[in-house]
Amino acid sequence: MGRILCYVCCILFIFQSDNGLKVESRIHPHERFQRQTCSALEFHCASGKCISSTLLCDGFKDCDDGSDETAHQCNKIRCPKFAFQCSYGACVDGSAKCNGIADCADGSDEKHPSCDVKPSTGVCKSSEFHCKSGKCIDNTLVCDGIKNCDDGSDETFEQCSKFRCSPLTFRCSYGACVDLDYRCDGQPHCADSSDEAPILCGTENKPTCKLPNKPENGNYKILNCKETDTSPFCLQVPDTIAPEYTILEYRCVAGYNLAGTASIPCIEGQWANSHPACVPVSCPPLESNNLNIKCNYKGNNVLCEKAMAPGTVASLECKVSYQLTFEPGYTKITCQENGKWDRPLFTCTQVCGKRNPKGKPFVSNGVQAKVGEFPWHVGIYRYSANGTLQQICGGSLINPSTVVSAAHCFWSEAYGKTMDKDNFRIAAGKYYRDWDIKDSEMQERQLSDIIVHEKYKGRNLHFSSDIALLKLNISVELTWAVLPVCVDWRNEYERFQLSNGNLGITVGWGYTQNNEPSNELLTTNLPFVDFQTCWKTIPETFQSYVTPDKFCAGYLNGTSVCPGDSGGGMAFAHDQKYYLRGLVSVGLEPEGDAKCFTDQYTAFTKVSDFLSWIDSNIR
């Protein structure tokens, strides 16, 4: 059917006049009506009516003048194998032939010779073929590529091997003749499909997509297949060859979810993805670093770390040393039929800087200390030459896997580098200094890494940037006796806490006035000292060690920190929480046999100067 390309079609009239040739154009009313009335997706009946192009040559006269069902419109149409072709070319369902109803516009589906076949009486007419089953069919139906006998005896080598095919036909391997254009057209027309043989069509080595079995508890849809299409392909017969660019759309029945890709195209003879499966609907596993989760299904406890069936109920509570940031209004969540939890997991925040007043009391030289009173303090131990572990420094737990301490505890002045991590161990929840005394709350850990600040160079640079992070090989378990100290990441409270005379607290096993390290954990309160006061008070030889990244604290009356306390934290209270402000760094060298100079201020590494560095190394 031609397509009109002009907006207004004209007919040119040329005739002779007294003044010579004259050309006159007149608008053709029929062409104008056709262009303006019917869309590109419609067929224009000769009467002027517009119908959908899909109704053309379907056996039914949709045009009131029948112009959509004529040989002129339909004789070039090729019908698929499963269809019946009317004598004028239209295609109707294959089951329409001889069903007693005229499905072709000219009734040719009921005029076919095979429609005259009656139940066999054992004798067929001279114009009929006698099937082995006893059925009689018209002789013209023998060896035409279609099994018209119910036993297929009309399409055998025995019947067809002596058939002579015209040059315009293709000879099937058993002898039947079919249209030459049917050869290698992608659809079998010979009864034995020899017209689509791979060796004939050059497809023997080419991969081909074949329709898969439907997934259990699911189905798939072939895009572009009409509901009325009864071909094996559209009926989704397994192993039927699927043409290139076929797309399968998968879906599952209620109660099942698709595991895999929903849309699978055929590209270059292969399905682009594995065919998905339908699995029972389940809610995803529940995991949290800050919640204790218990899951129950129909009265039985189930693992929360695996997918769970609808109806599973999960009970939630904050872990030890964690607390709610806000009240969520629920403590249980339920797995729904759609595979989703009805509520999200809420979040508990880690408790930090919590001083524990319920610890066991001890008295050392009149200063009371308690087991677990400062749960962030850890002891740092190093192997000695005889293979025993000796306490050398302290540190502060800032999260379950990280301790902050002084760099000089891990620095070799002789070699100018960080010592090997395997030389060290840490102990959290420890009250007694001796490693071999196993406190009830003690947790021992190895180090996976020691990160010394890149600018630290030891005594050569007066111990500036004296800070290090210790990464634990296994995170500690947070308990009442093992908790991190708070870090003021936004530095909100420093201006209040680091004010002249304000008291901060330090903890350690340093040397006492008896020149012996303390066997029990000691604590003392030291006042912050402003820079000018400190600078004027300390000896000139010590001034260079009070670098810009340090602050001073202490008394001049014999109360101070000593060797063994190095690296330990100095924390200041705010709103009943303790925030880490300083690390014991350097003090005056003692004179004579003394182990500690207690009548002078101590320099502390100022933690706020290194917040970005700490943050970048613990993320």
For residue 454, the domain's CATH number is 2.40.10.10
pLDDT band for position 67 (cuts 50, 70, 90): confident
Both 435 and 561 in one domain: the answer is: yes
Whether 285 is in a domain gets the answer no
Both 272 and 298 in one domain: the answer is: no
Task: Among 76, 111, 146, identify where a domain stops.
Answer: 111
The amino acid sitting at 19 is N
Both 342 and 370 in one domain: the answer is: no
pLDDT band for position 211 (cuts 50, 70, 90): very high
| Mean pLDDT value across residues 537-561 | 85
Task: Specify whether the CB–CB gap between 470 and 450 falls below 8 A.
Answer: yes
| Mean pLDDT value across residues 197-207 | 77
Both 194 and 74 in one domain: the answer is: no
pLDDT band for position 607 (cuts 50, 70, 90): very high
Both 106 and 124 in one domain: the answer is: no
Q: Find all residues with CB under 8 Å of 142, minimum gap 6, and list them.
A: 129, 148, 154, 155, 159, 160
Q: What is the pLDDT of residue 555?
A: 85
Lowest average pLDDT, out of 8-12, 86-90, 323-327, 463-467, goes to: 8-12
What pLDDT digit, counting tens, does each position of 548-559 carry?
999 999 888 766
Q: What is the pLDDT of residue 499?
A: 93
Whether 605 is in a domain gets the answer yes
Q: What is the pLDDT of residue 73?
A: 84
Task: Among 280, 302, 320, identify where a domain stops.
Answer: 280
- Edge to edge, the sheet with strand 468-472 lists 443-445, 424-428, 377-383, 389-399, 402-405, 468-472, 447-452
Quote the tokens at residue 151: 């036993």
Both 79 and 137 in one domain: the answer is: no
Q: What is the pLDDT of residue 361?
A: 37
Percent of the chain with pLDDT over 70: 86
Which residue range(s) make up the domain with 381? 361-618
Both 469 and 504 in one domain: the answer is: yes
Whether 458 is in a domain gets the answer yes
Q: Is the model's pLDDT at 68 over the cut of 50?
A: yes
Whether 410 is in a domain gets the answer yes
Q: What is the pLDDT of residue 534?
A: 92
pLDDT band for position 395 (cuts 50, 70, 90): very high
Q: Is the model's pLDDT at 4 over the cut of 90?
A: no
pLDDT band for position 34 (cuts 50, 70, 90): very low
Q: Is the model's pLDDT at 25 over the cut of 50?
A: no
Q: Is the model's pLDDT at 439 over the cut of 80?
A: yes
Q: How far is CA 282 from CA 33, 251, 305, 413, 507, in A?
A: 61, 16, 12, 60, 51
Structural Rg of the chain based on CA atoms: 47
Quote the tokens at residue 147: 């099994």
We report the CATH number of the domain holding residue 80 as 4.10.400.10
Q: Is the model's pLDDT at 511 over the cut of 80?
A: no
Both 480 and 588 in one domain: the answer is: yes
Task: Specify whether the CB–CB gap between 542 and 463 falls below 8 A.
Answer: no
Whether 567 is in a domain gets the answer yes
pLDDT band for position 186 (cuts 50, 70, 90): confident
Domain count, the chain: 5
The C-alpha torsion from 355 through 357 and 361 to 366, rounded to 10°, is: 70
CA distance 408 to 405: 9
Q: What is the pLDDT of residue 549?
A: 96
Both 104 and 120 in one domain: the answer is: no
pLDDT band for position 476 (cuts 50, 70, 90): very high
Both 194 and 306 in one domain: the answer is: no
We report the CATH number of the domain holding residue 237 as 2.10.70.10
Q: What is the pLDDT of residue 550?
A: 95
Mean of pLDDT over the chain: 84
Whether 20 is in a domain gets the answer no
Q: What is the pLDDT of residue 222?
A: 93
Lowest average pLDDT, out of 196-200, 211-215, 491-495, goes to: 196-200
Whether 355 is in a domain gets the answer no
We report the CATH number of the domain holding residue 338 as 2.10.70
What pLDDT digit, counting tens, does each position of 278-305 carry?
988 999 999 998 899 999 999 999 999 9
DSSP state of 342: S
Q: What is the pLDDT of residue 513?
A: 64
Both 192 and 301 in one domain: the answer is: no
Q: Give 115 or 611, the one with higher predicted confidence.
A: 611
pLDDT band for position 597 (cuts 50, 70, 90): low
Both 228 and 312 in one domain: the answer is: no
Task: Among 64, 85, 111, identify where a domain stops.
Answer: 111
Whether 27 is in a domain gets the answer no
Q: How far is CA 407 from CA 95, 333, 457, 553, 602, in A?
A: 91, 47, 9, 19, 16
pLDDT band for position 5 (cuts 50, 70, 90): very low
Quote the tokens at residue 93: 């369902």
